[in-house]
Amino acid sequence: MPTDDTAPAAKPGDRGTARPIVHYGEPVLHRACKPVESFDTALADLVEDMFASMYAANGVGLAANQIGVDARVFVLDCEDADGERTVAAVVNPVLVLPPPPRELMVGDEGCLSVPGPFTDTPRSATAVVEGFDPAGNPVRIEGTGTLARCLQHETDHLDGTVYVDRLPAKTRKRMLAEAGLR
């Protein structure tokens, strides 16, 4: 039997449908998401739609509540400080930061739910997320650089915090006005 080795491997999101991204101010972005209890086909389909939505919006990370779904899941596709790429979906993630005093990095951060502006946002220079893949296997991602920032930004979303909530009120107001949201 010949094997069909010319068929391209399916990429994350290929089976999914890009859904609209919800913006700052929608209640689903401002409360903690429910933990996932079933690692079923509905979850696999959700993850595919999340990858499709993230890529369609040219994002590097997306949390489920950004497409209006109350579930503790995020996807990401970004590089660490050494340029090494990570593509992952994490279910029921738990963020683990190094103990204080922590090395901080200040760098540009933006969000698909606050479209347009980016601004300097301090974050821990390293971060770890522990959780499960969509099949229910344990996963652990250690990040530096953009990956560390993304791990913190996406777990924040699932806790109901948008990155602008971490900025001074004056800066937040300006960012939301720039995004046409307030």
Q: Is 153 annotated as a binding residue?
A: yes
Catalytic residue among 26, 37, 103, 154: 154
Catalytic residue check, 109: no
* Cβ atoms 75, 47 nearer than 8 A: yes
Cα–chain-centroid distance for residue 52? 13
Which listed range, 88-96, 97-105, 110-118, 135-143, lies at the site for Zn ion (CB under 5 A)? 110-118
Total of residues contacting Zn ion (CB under 5 A)? 1
Site for Zn ion in 48-107 (CB under 5 A): none
Of 15 and 18, CB closest to Zn ion: 18
Quick one: 36 or 111, whose CB is closer to Zn ion? Answer: 111
What is the full DSSP assignment across 91-150? EEEEEEPPPSSPPEEEEEEEETTEEEEEEEEEEESEEEEEEE-TTS-EEEEEEEHHHHHH
Q: Under the criterion CB under 5 A, does residue 111 sit at the interface with Zn ion?
A: yes
Q: How many C-beta neighbours within 10 Å does residue 116 have?
A: 11
Residues that bind Zn ion (CB under 5 A): 111
Binding residues for Fe cation: 111, 153, 157
Give the residue numbers annotated as catalytic, written as ranges: 154
